[in-house]
Structure 1
């Protein structure tokens, strides 16, 4: 199986989850390619009071993005994993833009929602579906505090990776 992981990480927690997921998926015999999504103009902290974050995420629902590496051809992958922090109980604007750009092209994808609190995955699935025009197969919530214990985080991600591949 060939999987693309497209992610945005402002604080590094989602990136940590992605790196562990990549290693585990590779160990399970899966070919994995990572694509980092970044806004053309990164957001300054504190994020929860940054007017541009609020506007881009809640009103505009997107922003100009850079994808690294640049060549992303969704048809080359059996599945796309979209890993994202959660801002204001929704996907951040760089992820929203990525899903809009790839609307009607992604056929099978899942969402990994990294957040400080439990996330209502049903809501995240609805949001992702409205942007990508296809429903994600699953939403996995990774609570950011899990990142403090890399062993437990790795065990959790291993179980999720087995579920993804089944």
Structure 2
């Protein structure tokens, strides 16, 4: 099963998790780029405002990839005001060729309701996610995430093996 790990990260937290997943699965990695948001107080304020309004920004993928070339996408997003980051929402809405198999991991700094983000992804895809993982800031700050990420990756690896 060909897999792509596709993520958006403003602070670098989701990027770090995405890289770990891609390395563990020995698979391709691509970034959702968005010039609209920058780190810092004003950038975070704009991101939160756009998230609440549902404003979808322009995005690009780096490197440029076609989702149709993959059997599965593992999508990563931070939680912004209880929802997927707007660049990830833009990817779900605007990119063609989403495969039937999509898994999602979200990173949350402690504020926000991850269930809303997970439901938002399933709604955009029009089918259930194959797997999901919620990582809080305390999971990421501890020496070990308590096995949450390890179990998520192991489940993805087992699914890929079972599906050939």
1:162 corresponds to which residue? 154
1:73 and 2:69 aligned: no
2:125 corresponds to which residue? 132
Secondary structure of the corresponding residue to residue 86 of structure 1: strand
Under a length normalisation based on structure 2, what TM-score does the superposition of the two structures give?
0.82
Displacement after TM superposition at 1:111 (Å): 0.9
1:92 and 2:114 aligned: no
Displacement after TM superposition at 1:42 (Å): 2.2
CA distance in 2, matches of 1:49, 1:7: 18
CA distance in 2, matches of 1:44, 1:24: 28
2:51 corresponds to which residue? 57
CA distance in 1, matches of 2:13, 2:32: 14
Structure 2 gap segments, 5+ residues each: 159-164
Residues 79-114 of structure 1, C-alpha deviations (whole Å, 9 max, x = no match): 101111101000011000011013673321011010
The count of residues paired between Structure 1 and Structure 2 equals 158
Residues 8 and 14 in structure 1, CA contact (< 8 A), matched pair in contact too: yes
2:32 to 30, 34, 37: 37
Residues 38 and 44 in structure 2, CA contact (< 8 A), matched pair in contact too: no
Secondary structure of the corresponding residue to residue 125 of structure 1: helix
Displacement after TM superposition at 1:155 (Å): 4.4
Displacement after TM superposition at 1:47 (Å): 6.3
Displacement after TM superposition at 1:43 (Å): 3.2
Are the structure 2 counterparts of residues 49 and 13 from structure 1 closer, same or farther at C-alpha, using a change threshold of 3 Å? closer
Residues 78 and 107 in structure 2, CA contact (< 8 A), matched pair in contact too: yes
